[in-house]
Amino acid sequence: VTGEKPQETQVHIVSANQNIAISLSGSNNKTEQSGDSTLNVCFVSTDGGYKSVSVDFYTHDKAHLLELAKKSEIYELHTKLIDVGEGLKEITKNELFEEQRQIIHGEIITSHENKVKNFAIVKLLAIVVVAVGQLYLLKKMLDKQGQGWQPVSA
């Protein structure tokens, strides 16, 4: 048991059929249980502080020891899990990049769309101003000659 005040932590081990009951307290307590039985392990922090409890199970049975995973198998699994973690990091990084890319592209499209709208309005205003200017100049030109518009006689 590690953490705040490990001496104030109690560990109770009770078999499923209630025949075996062991109580331990403190940071380095060990007990040995022989035979086949299902055990319930209960950890109680009497001071309410944070604790970390580790439990080691081992056997003296040679046949059972041979069935346990070898270090090379555990290392291989560990390596694969690290690779999976790295892959997940890469996927997360790519997803964040895509989200940021979509946001930036959306802003660029909106900006260009607004520019096109503004230029279209300016273009329409320029056409109207030129047309009004042409009418004004034409009227002035005809008024200077004092004739005004007259239909052509045949």
Q: In the chain, what are the domain boundaries?
A: 7-48
Encode pLDDT of 68-80 as tens digits: 667 777 888 889 9
Task: In whole angstroms, give the CA distance from residue 124 to residue 75.
Answer: 73
Encode pLDDT of 24-68 as tens digits: 655 556 666 665 656 666 656 666 666 666 666 666 666 666 666
